[in-house]
Structure 1
């Protein structure tokens, strides 16, 4: 399976998935692998490419869109990309599998992960999900956490295919979602929805996390520093005015994304990235306490999956 996923990503690359500007300028060639189709959660990276922040920092950046089965960590470990996007729980999972993956900045301080239900479903809280059918990706740790709380005991789980169209046909369908994306897409289809935030249950990993390998940190710390600095600038610029970044995302996303959804996403993502007390200069920051709490939760809900890891191995503040 791992080999097939790597080959699939290579085919996408050959098909021309990159949104980086094609020119003959000199600079370091840097590839960054996204963990999903281009959306607002990747806004800072597209902004930094579109407004020439990366090129001004001496880098030609190749942004590679992801999808439902993108092999993010293998792409990094094979050296096919230098950076990638993930969530904090993914980082812990990668390291538990023996991969030397390290987070260097985290944009969303609070998780956008939610369960999306129709208003007329009768579901007002997680306790009301009994009898519903949940469309979800298999293997996601937030599901293990929900199961540990007994929330999914009477819920039928079926595969999630990256679409919320099933909500239009059946009020008994619930869908995994991000609060800054799918809710508006549903409303644009005439479906009134409610979001149940998984963070309200206590599961709140960092999201839109920029990751790389320990090897690159050790061998090319100057490159990592330049890319982190430029990406942080890209996110600041995106939150100030996302037009350029969203235009680039629209050009790269062939999965029904709309300008309205991206505008909504940028607006909804800002308070997740800048909760009360944070300033724009602090964007990307992380704490040991948050990583330690997440690792404890993962160890509790998935104790047999792999070797436990330490928080200090999962992230670094060296470049912040």
Structure 2
């Protein structure tokens, strides 16, 4: 089972090489992106959305909008394209094989640093679900207690250089992460990279009493479950983009209040060991992540948040300084006025 439910990022080094090679060939969205998807204003418009991982709760709003008619009510015939461990999200968009995709805010920054005109149009998850999972009998109560622990983690994740810069991983032995919490079962000194929407439940199912350390509380908090498209499509088909954003936003609102039907659809589409119980747990955790306060508007994004993220990634040397402008990473033109 893929236990890291929300972590749908591909290895960033591999991705960067892939996208760089793609861009060098001169194949860009300008030459292959259709100015309009199939259909016309009076007919059903065919639209595809690429997922950045196998169908899971991070894609719940898209599946909900499909099954409750939010897309079809707007004349959109939507195809959801499942992803995998190395889904080339940016090339899929730039080649015009997909009109939209789901990814994470730090990936958008990486895409743009590599020259891809990918733009976020809605951020369903405001508080990033990234956490470190430790056993309660490990003696670790905060991030400051991690020295002497072994951390199973996946190279290429941008939260790791952030933790190193903060000194959090000083004295911590880092070993490869194999999409499993099995290492914690027999070793109280083993910590595991995790997402709060899945691994805590999986650990408790194995009889472990665990503690979650949320990385967002340290200040690393990229938007997650971000709906993106290309700058070309925004300029050429703003009406269609508006319809898709409106439907997807409604889908997320409905999913977060009643996820059962969409979860059944996700379960049917995911052939990688997913269970209904895990999806139910994940959807419950998602509500607080999507609505961290009573004032939160679903999907909202702010320049301040994007500037913080771009600044952090530049400081961490994940991207070259001044290679990305925060205001170009996103647009709120398709979101309701606050």
TM-score band (shorter)? Answer: 0.7 to 0.9
The 1:110–1:227 alpha-carbon spacing in structure 2 relative to 1, beyond 3 Å, is same
Q: Which residue of 2 aligns with 1:14?
A: none
Q: State the Cα distance separating 1:47 from its structure 2 match.
A: 0.8
What are the within-5 Å matches in structure 2 for residues 141-180 of structure 1? Answer: 141-180=158-197
Q: Which residue of 2 aligns with 1:68?
A: 85
Contact kept in structure 1, 2:136 and 2:211, CA below 8 Å: yes
- Cα separation, 1, equivalents of 2:272 and 2:188: 24
Q: State the Cα distance separating 1:307 from its structure 2 match.
A: 5.1
What SS is found at the alignment partner of 2:240? helix
Which stretches of structure 1, 4 residues or longer, exceed 4 Å deviation after superposition?
1-6, 303-307
Q: Which residue of 1 aligns with 2:256?
A: 239
State which drifts further: 116-125 or 164-173. 164-173
What SS is found at the alignment partner of 1:53? coil
Q: 2:269 aligns with which of 241, 252, 255?
A: 252
What SS is found at the alignment partner of 2:71? helix
Total equivalences in the alignment: 299
Q: State the Cα distance separating 1:72 from its structure 2 match.
A: 1.4
Q: Which residue of 1 aligns with 2:129?
A: 112
The 1:127–1:225 alpha-carbon spacing in structure 2 relative to 1, beyond 3 Å, is same
Q: Which residue of 2 aligns with 1:122?
A: 139
Q: State the Cα distance separating 1:319 from its structure 2 match.
A: 0.6
The 1:150–1:4 alpha-carbon spacing in structure 2 relative to 1, beyond 3 Å, is closer
Q: Which residue of 2 aligns with 1:288?
A: 303
Q: Which residue of 2 aligns with 1:131?
A: 148
Q: Which residue of 2 aligns with 1:16?
A: none
Q: Which residue of 1 aligns with 2:333?
A: 318
Q: 2:63 aligns with which of 38, 46, 64?
A: 46
- Cα separation, 2, equivalents of 1:182 and 1:111: 15
Q: 2:283 aligns with which of 261, 266, 282?
A: 266
Q: State the Cα distance separating 1:68 from its structure 2 match.
A: 2.6
Contact kept in structure 1, 2:314 and 2:321, CA below 8 Å: no
Q: TM-score, normalised by structure 2?
A: 0.83
What are the within-5 Å matches in structure 2 for residues 85-104 of structure 1? Answer: 85-104=102-121
The 1:304–1:44 alpha-carbon spacing in structure 2 relative to 1, beyond 3 Å, is closer
> Could you list the runs of 5+ residues in structure 1 that have no partner in the other structure?
7-25
The 1:145–1:78 alpha-carbon spacing in structure 2 relative to 1, beyond 3 Å, is same
Pairing 1:189–2:192 present? no
Q: Which residue of 2 aligns with 1:79?
A: 96
Pairing 1:199–2:213 present? no
Q: 1:212 aligns with which of 229, 233, 247?
A: 229
State which drifts further: 96-105 or 58-67. 58-67
> Could you list the runs of 5+ residues in structure 2 that have no partner in the other structure?
1-13, 20-42
The 1:101–1:4 alpha-carbon spacing in structure 2 relative to 1, beyond 3 Å, is closer
Q: TM-score, normalised by structure 1?
A: 0.87
Q: Which residue of 2 aligns with 1:11?
A: none
The superposition leaves residues 110-150 of structure 1 with CA deviations (integer Å, 9 ceiling, x where unpaired) of: 11111111222222111222222222222121111111111
Q: State the Cα distance separating 1:4 from its structure 2 match.
A: 10
- Cα separation, 2, equivalents of 1:219 and 1:91: 20
